Amino acid sequence: MTAYSSTSLTRPHDEALIAGVCAGLARRFGMKPTTMRILFLVSCLLPGPQFVVYLVLWVLIPKS
For the chain, what is the domain count? 1
- Domain carrying residue 23: 1-64
Read off the pLDDT band of 18 (50, 70, 90).
very high
- Note the pLDDT tens digit of each residue in 35-50: 999 999 999 999 999 9
pTM: 0.82
Q: Are 21 and 15 in contact (CB under 8 A)?
A: no
Q: Which residues contact 28 (CB under 8 A, 6 or more apart)?
A: 5, 6, 8, 9
Average pLDDT in the 1-19 region?
Answer: 77
pLDDT of residue 8: 85
